[in-house]
Structure 1
Amino acid sequence: MTPHIERLIQQLDDSTGPSYDARAELIYIGSDAIPALIDGLPSLDRFGQLTAIEVFEEMADPRCGPALIALLGSDDSTVREWAAMALASLKIDGAVEPVRRAYRACRERATPPDWSEPEGIRWALTELGARTPVVPALTARLQATAADDAPGWASTHFTEIINDLADHAQVILYSQFWRVDAGRTYGISDTGLDRELDWTAPWEHLVEESRTWSLLEASEAPTAANIFVAPTWIDRSDLYPER
């Protein structure tokens, strides 16, 4: 490790400004910095490790795979989440089982499935081909009728989607609304409903509770030709994969 690269790696921890410049320079140096960054990763704090993950993703070098897998065991939930997502985006060989173990650990910690970490890990498993979301036929067909670049489903079909998903035993975790104007996409505020599901309840109860909340949300949601909704949902197997 050259003194210059070592100094850049340590600067990744400095969120007051130097971290951004160090990140950019390490990316510019490229693959020559990978071994030093891997070696220096354990010495970094949370912010530095998250920045290092961004550097790994930009470099797209498979040598970072073992280091990212090691970060799945971090004490910090965001580090674990970002590491799993980086493993998936980089298509790292051998990542499936470690990411599965990270998801099991999430469940063992009783992390609610609508929190950021389990959501990110489910995305990673899907991208790695180890998870297949359940998309009922009507929901799939309604999405296909939207424009190719639409961020989800037309909001006018929200009630149909809710019922279709619930009828197929899916639990909607939350929904994000988007407005498309002049080819640009903007996130818009949701209905402001503060839902909280009891994850110890039977799955059938969760499905119907989610349906009730989502239908209430749909009754207050914005609807227009340029408004789209992107619900996030899970299957029973995401909560009880052993069943």
Structure 2
Amino acid sequence: MTSPIEALVQRLDGDDDASYGARARLIGIGRDATLPITDGLPALGRFGRLTAIEVFEAVADPRCGPTLIALLDDDEPTVREWAAIALANLEIDDAVEPLRRAYRACLERATPPDWTEPVGIRWALTELGARTPVVPPLTARLRATTADDGPGWPSAHFTALIDDLADHAQVILYSPFWRVDAGRSYDVCGTALDWELDWTAPWEHLVEESRTWSLLEASEAPVDDNVFVAPTWIDRSDLDPEG
């Protein structure tokens, strides 16, 4: 006979209302839901697995760590990405080596480094202290001048930030903008530029291409005292973590 918790787990794959209701009730149940969700995961589809990860994060039971680690080998890239992020948010230290393997698997699949899965895994490794981004001195100083709740760098410094990163051989992947109003952050539409890098090109070419496109973005970017830019960038070592 299916228990009430098992029935809720099965509903994670339902329509939006059913899944949302099951998610909320499982979060309310707390740690007692961890093992039933783990047991029910193999029967869930992509949507159900993603919702299960949300429950794991909300409940924050470290016993879900092995299950999240196993999801790093899932067939769906979004599931792998969300599992990586959840492992970092829950501070599962045992996840470092599995995350490194998951990142190497991204490289072996030739997943572009600016796609969300490798971005998410790099973020998780950084949060767990297993990856140290290159932050040039000027870049660090420019960020230090922002308000405590500023999500990035003042947009007025965007051009200087781009050149500083490129001068230190960093490749900028993308640069979202945020507006801070009354302590809250809001997404701001940036530019209409749509650019892609050729990841088969030499690193030096990638650096200069990202500089050129980013400077074009800076010429059209919103500038205001409460507008911030939060670029994501990578180092050459991110394409060769074994090097």
CA distance in 2, matches of 1:117, 1:240: 17
Report the Cα offset of residue 2 of structure 1. Answer: 5.4
- Secondary structure at the aligned position of 1:94 is classed as helix
CA distance in 2, matches of 1:158, 1:145: 13
1:34 aligns with 2:34: yes
State the Cα deviation string for residues 145-169 of structure 1 (Å, max 9, x = none).
Answer: 1111111111111110000000000
Q: Which amino acid aligns with 2:107?
A: R
CA distance in 2, matches of 1:106, 1:213: 25
CA distance in 2, matches of 1:114, 1:66: 27
Kept after mapping to 1: 8 A contact 2:93/2:128:
no
Tell me which residue corresponds to 2:10. Answer: 10
* Superposition map of 1:204-223 within 5 A: 204-223=204-223
- Relative to the length of structure 2, the TM-score reads 0.97
Q: Which amino acid aligns with 1:195?
A: W
Q: Which amino acid aligns with 1:83?
A: A
Report the Cα offset of residue 15 of structure 1. Answer: 3.0
Aligned residues: 243
Report the Cα offset of residue 6 of structure 1. Answer: 1.0
Tell me which residue corresponds to 2:57. Answer: 57
CA distance in 2, matches of 1:200, 1:123: 23
Tell me which residue corresponds to 1:47. Answer: 47
Kept after mapping to 2: 8 A contact 1:169/1:235:
yes
Tell me which residue corresponds to 2:150. Answer: 150
CA distance in 1, matches of 2:139, 2:54: 34
Tell me which residue corresponds to 2:191. Answer: 191
State the Cα deviation string for residues 62-120 of structure 1 (Å, max 9, x = none).
Answer: 11111111111111000000001111111113110101101011111111111111100
* Superposition map of 1:123-134 within 5 A: 123-134=123-134
Report the Cα offset of residue 226 of structure 1. Answer: 1.6
- Secondary structure at the aligned position of 2:54 is classed as helix
Tell me which residue corresponds to 2:21. Answer: 21
Q: Which amino acid aligns with 2:37?
A: L
Kept after mapping to 1: 8 A contact 2:149/2:183:
no
Runs in 1 of length 4+ with deviation above 3 angstroms? none
Structure 1 gaps, min length 5:
none
Q: Which amino acid aligns with 1:89?
A: N
Kept after mapping to 1: 8 A contact 2:10/2:44:
yes
Q: Which amino acid aligns with 1:158?
A: F
Tell me which residue corresponds to 1:167. Answer: 167
- Secondary structure at the aligned position of 2:110 is classed as coil
Structure 2 gaps, min length 5:
none
Q: Which amino acid aligns with 2:132?
A: T
Q: Which amino acid aligns with 1:94?
A: D
CA distance in 2, matches of 1:177, 1:59: 31
- Secondary structure at the aligned position of 2:166 is classed as helix
